[in-house]
Structure 1
Amino acid sequence: MKQPDLFSLSRKEGFRRFADAPARQRPETLTRMQIRALGDDAAEDYHDSRHDWHANFGIVQTPQLDAIHEDLDQIVASNRQDGDRIRSAAVIDALPGLGKTTIANLFARTFHRQQMRRLPTVTAAGHERIPVFRVGLTSNTTLRTLNRMICEFYGHPATDRANAATLASHALDCVLSCETQLGVIDDIHFIDLDRRDGMAVSNHLKWLANELPVTFIYVGVGLAERRFFADGLTGKNVALAQTARRWTRLGVDPFRLDTDLGRRRWRSLLKATERRLVLAEHRPGMLVSLADYFFERTSGHIGSYFTLLMRGCYRAIRTGTEALTRDVLDAVRLDEASEQARRQLAAALAHGTLPSALGDAS
């Protein structure tokens, strides 16, 4: 079994590997007869290469991804203020399973590649150029841990014993020395604004935005519902909140079947992904013919869709079916949210209260 390429995007070395990785090589699609002719060991290696491909075959350019990348590009490109000016930030705020983190990471990768193509790998002062830093928060993030995570991304040596203020100073030095222009902070919904330390971290994010000359992209779940844009304030105090004036909220919607455009987009997703499958019995149009079934199983959430696709491909190879049939996919268990919604969606599709994904297909 081939070992996965293990790295962390919360370290500069890992992010660089992610950003600089070449396109993965697609395995050849063999017929059943050709697979049988390989022999046991060669066939096992071939199957393993296909498992690896299906788990990592790349990103589909969905309308949601394209729209948010266009907004992010506009926000980042317009943030060219000098160091004495506050830059606006972007926040990707949506439900789980809609690709928020993937969207942010891909934008950061594109930005990294653009900067490294245009600028020297070493700054004028002789420091390593790092266009992007990225960290993910935890459920017990404090001022000190947030500052430490930023420092650890850069590999700063003095992170073990320093206090929060010293680490903040180190983080600023890293950003300035490496001429970083973009900072991605994921999972900010872990900040609990009802707790004193949570409010302190929220305020510290404002300090970072004031002091670090970078554009921030924050990623989180249900931030509007958590009063994040109101800084946790209520009543008349909401007018004093800074976040709502500084952050541009970008939402991510699931795929839908209740409009002609939504159904076309859903079919386009299936068409785009089925072209990448490496299965002996797969034929064009097989996924699209199951468009209603895939929606029933995933509720239009792209994270659940790709999980079903990857697990289904694995099962199709292991069982020798070599195609994504309904029987193969029925044997795949998905996330609990999708499983709970499945019966209701199936009934809506069966009774016509939810239009079929193939209803307006030409």
Structure 2
Amino acid sequence: MFGDLADGENGWHGWSGMPAQRDTVEGWDLWRRTRHQFVPAPRLEPARWRGMPAREKSLYDLHRTATHANLPLLHTPMSRQVARALTARMRANAFKSKPSTRPGVMVTGGGYQGKTETVCEIAAAFEDSWRELNQGLNPNDVPGGHDLYVPVAYVQTPVTAKPKSTCKAILNFFGAPTKNMDLPDLVHQVAASLHDHGTRVLILDDITRLRMHRADDQDTLDLIRAFMSMHVTLILVGVNIPASGLLREGRTDPRTGRIVMSSRSSVVHGLEPTQTERRFDLVELGRFCYDTAAQIQAWVEHLAGVEEQLRLMNAQAGMLTEHGMPEYLFERTQGVVGLLERLIEDGCQEAMATGTEQLTEDLLDDIMLDLSGAIGRDPEAGEIPAVPSPPAKRKKRTPAKPSTAKKSRRNTVFDDHGPGGPDLKQGA
């Protein structure tokens, strides 16, 4: 019975479909605690699926749809590199007791390459381990205090970022008051909130929304750099950071390879009392490539991981990894994991709706990827990548029909086949 498949054990009844808003304390904490709780639809034999009563089959198909819409975040060679750099930096900074500026990390890459999800997953794993280490208690809590313990804060950079709006976005994460405050008060309130909540990591997403030709944005970047003196690991996430202008005042330290950046002034709203330079590690979350044997193998292994998550009834082993499918999928997505996920999700919807129940090149040819209406993304900041054009519609070959006219054949009994004729070969 499908009732066995839809109970609380598989996460179906507890699934609400409403994503947690990570830019608030409550939303981040909910997402962190529940991020791995969704359980995909169980695998069923096609015969059992076809024999289900209509209502049970409909419910199971809804669970399959939810499964394809919630494909898990898979590790890639690029994401592992980012994870190593981020985890090492967060841990080292978290254990520092000196009142020195903590080095930060910039995570760059193209649009739809999974930067936000990757960084959030890494930061959430760090918070899990940090909470366990401190038994869920703020190690810097003041006796008698009742502040929430918030090791990680996630904030989206405002589309029109200014120093005040950036401070308010951070304070809104904590639910702190911002009304009738001037900029110095807002800055000190940010510092107080980060300290009182025991925050070790501050993530500022979509940082390339800052436009360096605007004075307000330059002031905002100076303010963000000053946040590094608040004893937190500052993680800036953005599209193509090297080309954005954010590093125009930076230089590379030849000894460490880090980006060294100096503020235009030694004091930012009274927050930074020294001339301490701000250092960032710049790491890139790149796309898959398809040039060398190792790169092709990594792409095929990723497709195998995606294929394992799909619940299509006519799917065969190697549906995404054999024949020309890996090359086709790379041509459609250029190795961008977000575009691949979108193509696979829409393809599964089409395969279920048409009864095809498998992904083929012919089916995917009809899936158009259109990101023009993407909500919450700023095209001017490069957050929406160029989508490769679908391949030209291939003409299906029609097998030639045998002719019904009978052709008269010439009698060859008395033909001379020469010295290499059939008689010689037969007697050889």
Q: TM-score, normalised by structure 2?
A: 0.74
- Equivalences for residues 196-207 of structure 1 within 5 A: 196-207=215-226
Correspondences of 1:183-332 after superposition (within 5 Å): 183-210=202-229, 212-231=230-249, 241-242=261-262, 246-289=279-322, 290-332=325-367
Mapped contact 1:226–1:232 kept (Cα < 8 A)? no
Paired residue for 2:67? 53
Partner of 2:310, secondary structure, is: coil
- 1:92 Cα offset (Å): 0.6
The change in CA–CA distance for 1:6 and 1:23 in structure 2 (over 3 A counts) is closer
Decide whether aligned partners of structure 1 residues 160 and 53 sit closer, same or farther in structure 2, where only a CA change above 3 A counts: farther
CA shift, 1:208, in A, is 1.2
Name the CA shift for 1:245/1:214 in 2 (closer, same or farther; >3 Å).
Answer: closer
Distance of 1:26 and 1:240 partners within structure 2: 45
Q: How big is the alpha-carbon RMSD for the aligned residues of Structure 1 and Structure 2?
A: 2.4
2 CA distance for matches of 1:19 and 1:330? Answer: 37
Residue in 1 that maps onto 2:426: none
Q: Secondary structure at the match of 1:288?
A: coil
Deviations 1:96-149 (A, max 9, x none): 122211211111111111112222334342432111001011221111111111
**Residue of structure 1 equivalent to 2:164:** 144
Deviations 1:142-179 (A, max 9, x none): 111111111111122x1233222222222211111111
Provide the rounded CA distance (Å) in 1 between the counterparts of 2:18 and 2:326.
32
Larger mean Cα displacement after TM superposition, 31-40 or 275-284: 31-40
User: 1:299, 1:341 within 8 Å by CA — same for their partners in 2?
Assistant: no
Whether the aligned pair in 2 keeps the contact of 1:122 and 1:128 (CA below 8 Å) is no
Q: Give the match for residue 17 of structure 2.
A: 4
Cα distance in 1 for partners of 2:311, 2:41 equals 7
Map Cα deviations across residues 51-85 of structure 1 (whole Å, 9 max, x no partner): 11111131111111111100112222222433520
Cα distance in 2 for residues equivalent to 1:225 and 1:48: 43
- Mark the CA change 1:148 to 1:331 in structure 2 (over 3 Å): closer, same or farther: same
Name the structure where helix makes up a greater proportion of residues. Answer: 1
Given the superposition, is the C-alpha separation of residues 204 and 319 from structure 1 closer, same or farther in structure 2, using an over 3 Å criterion?
Answer: same
User: Would the aligned equivalents of 2:260 and 2:279 in 1 still touch at CA under 8 Å?
Assistant: no
Judge conservation of contact 2:154–2:203 (CA < 8 Å) in 1: yes
Within 5 A, what are the aligned runs for 1:157-172? Answer: 158-172=177-191
Q: 1:165 to 1:288 in 2, by over 3 A?
A: same
Q: Which moved more, 1:38-47 or 1:65-74?
A: 38-47
Post-superposition CA distance 1:341-362 (Å, at most 9, x none)? 5559x9xxxxxxxxxxxxxxxx
Question: Which AA in structure 2 matches 1:213?
Answer: H
Task: From the superposition, tell whether residues 69 and 228 of structure 1 become closer, same or farther in structure 2 (CA, over 3 Å).
Answer: same
Residues 19-47 of structure 1: per-residue CA shift (max 9 Å, x gap) = 11143212122234323332332222111
Task: Say whether the 8 Å CA contact 2:112–2:339 is kept in structure 1.
Answer: yes
1:105 maps to what in 2? 120
Measure how far apart 1:299 and its partner are. Answer: 0.6
Amino acid across the alignment from 1:265: A
Does the 8 A contact of 1:298 with 1:342 survive in 2? Answer: no
Residue 97 of structure 2 corresponds to residue 82 of structure 1: yes
Is contact 1:297-1:338 (8 Å) kept?
Answer: no
TM-score normalised by L of structure 1: 0.87
**Measured at CA, do residues 293 and 168 of structure 1 come closer, stay the same or move farther in structure 2, by a change above 3 Å?**
same
In structure 1, runs of 5+ residues without a counterpart are 234-238, 347-362
What residue identity is the alignment partner of 2:168?
R
What is the CA deviation profile of residues 225-255 of structure 1, one whole-angstrom value per residue up to 9, with x for unaligned ones?
Answer: 123112399xxxxx99427961111112211
Aligned mates of 1:83, 1:248 — CA distance in 2? 20
8 Å CA contact retained: 1:256, 1:300: yes
Identity of aligned residues (%): 22
Larger CA deviation: 168-177 vs 267-276:
168-177
Larger Rg: 2
Letter in 1 for 2:351: A
Report the more deviating stretch, 318-327 or 65-74. 318-327
How many pairs are equivalent? 338
Given the superposition, is the C-alpha separation of residues 203 and 39 from structure 1 closer, same or farther in structure 2, using an over 3 Å criterion?
same
Deviations 1:287-336 (A, max 9, x none): 00210110010011111011111111121112221111222212211146
Structure-2 residue corresponding to 1:24: 38
- Matched residue type, 1:69: A
Amino acid in the other structure paired with 1:118: L
In the alignment, which residue of structure 1 is the partner of 2:404? none
Give the letter for the 1:325 counterpart: T
CA–CA distance in structure 1, aligned partners of residues 19 and 305 of structure 2: 27
- Distance in 1 of aligned mates of 2:354 and 2:29: 38
Letter matched to residue 208 of structure 1: F
Query: How many Å apart are 1:206 and its aligned residue?
Result: 1.4
